[in-house]
Structure 1
Amino acid sequence: MPDTMMGELVEYLAKALVEHPEDVQVSESFDGDRYLIRLNVHEDDWGKVIGKAGRTANALRTLAKVAAVREDVRVSLEIGD
């Protein structure tokens, strides 16, 4: 369960994109000067989360950064293992 608004946003968006929303896992950690958000999904849903040429993944990262600005922190989003 995510602790920050950024993690909640990533989880919400990922669950809306995938066919197996019950398998969406979002974990957060604080690494020095930034939050690290890790997103894992069911293996059949990787393509939906990454998107064509990585556009969906980049959009998720951009939205997480917008949420981070609201909380006055830095964030990075990792998708996958």
Structure 2
Amino acid sequence: MLAQAVEHLIKNIVDFPDDVSVKSHENARGELIRVRVNPEDIGRVIGRNGRTANAVRCVVQSMADHKVRVDIMDVRK
């Protein structure tokens, strides 16, 4: 559910929503959600001083009942 929420949030921010990929992994520290976006959208997703990325992380953490980490990466072609 969290990965789907992150995907929905990110796809509405970027210019290339078809390039958005969200994958969720469980590890010893909790859940890890990896978000990959088009290199042209990385600045839009991170935002000025990381504000957009921090807002996404805050929303996801408030929805979760466990520790969640969100990593944002760009897709290299």
Q: TM-score, normalised by structure 2?
A: 0.90
- Report the Cα distance in structure 2 between the residues aligned to 1:79 and 1:33, rounded to whole angstroms: 18
Q: Indicate which of 3, 8, 16 corresponds to 1:7.
A: 3
Tell me what 1:56 maps to.
52
Output the TM-score relative to the length of structure 1.
0.86
Residue from 34, 37, 42 that aligns with 1:41: 37
- 1:19 is paired with a residue whose SS is coil
Q: Does 1:77 align with 2:70?
A: yes
- Residue ranges of structure 2 left out of the alignment (5+ in a row): none
Which secondary structure does the structure 1 equivalent of 2:15 belong to? coil
Q: Unpaired runs of 5+ in structure 1?
A: none
What is the number of residues matched between the two proteins?
74
Supply the RMSD in Å over aligned alpha carbons: 1.1
Shift of 1:74: 1.4
* Residue identity matched to 1:32: A
Measured after TM superposition, the shift of residue 67 of structure 1 is 1.3
Percent sequence identity is 42
Match of 1:30 in 2: 26
**What SS does structure 2 have at the residue aligned with 1:80?**
strand
Deviation at 1:33, TM superposition (A): 4.0
Inter-partner Cα distance in structure 2 for 1:37 and 1:67: 14
